[in-house]
Amino acid sequence: MPDEFAGHLLHPLVRRVDGSTLTSLVLRTHCAELSPRSGIPSSLVVTSDPLPCTTSGKVDRRRIGSP
């Protein structure tokens, strides 16, 4: 997604498996352990809902939208 100051920003959407206790804080902490600060997404959405798919079964990024 284009940003006026930063260029392009990454806004990940993660689907957790059923029964998982994954939260955005846990995932951001994990990213912080493995990546430099600039590599940690500024926004991160964790959902239990299925991701929208195209007719070929791939994730439909257009239908996901932006935060």
pTM of the model: 0.65
Instruction: Give the pLDDT confidence of 35-57 residue by residue, as tens digits.
Output: 898 788 878 889 999 999 999 99
Q: Where is 34: in which H helix or E strand?
A: helix 24-34
- Is it the case that residue 10 has pLDDT exceeding 60? yes
Q: Decide if 15 is inside a domain.
A: yes
Domain extent for 20: 9-53
Query: Which residue is listed with tokens 């352990």?
Result: 33
Q: Decide if 38 is inside a domain.
A: yes
| Predicted pLDDT at 7 | 72
The total number of structural domains in the chain stands at: 1
Q: Decide if 39 is inside a domain.
A: yes
Q: Where is 37: in which H helix or E strand?
A: none
| Predicted pLDDT at 2 | 60
Q: Decide if 24 is inside a domain.
A: yes
- Measured in residues, the chain has a length of 67
Reported as half-sphere exposure (CB side, CA atoms, 13 A), residue 47 has a value of: 11
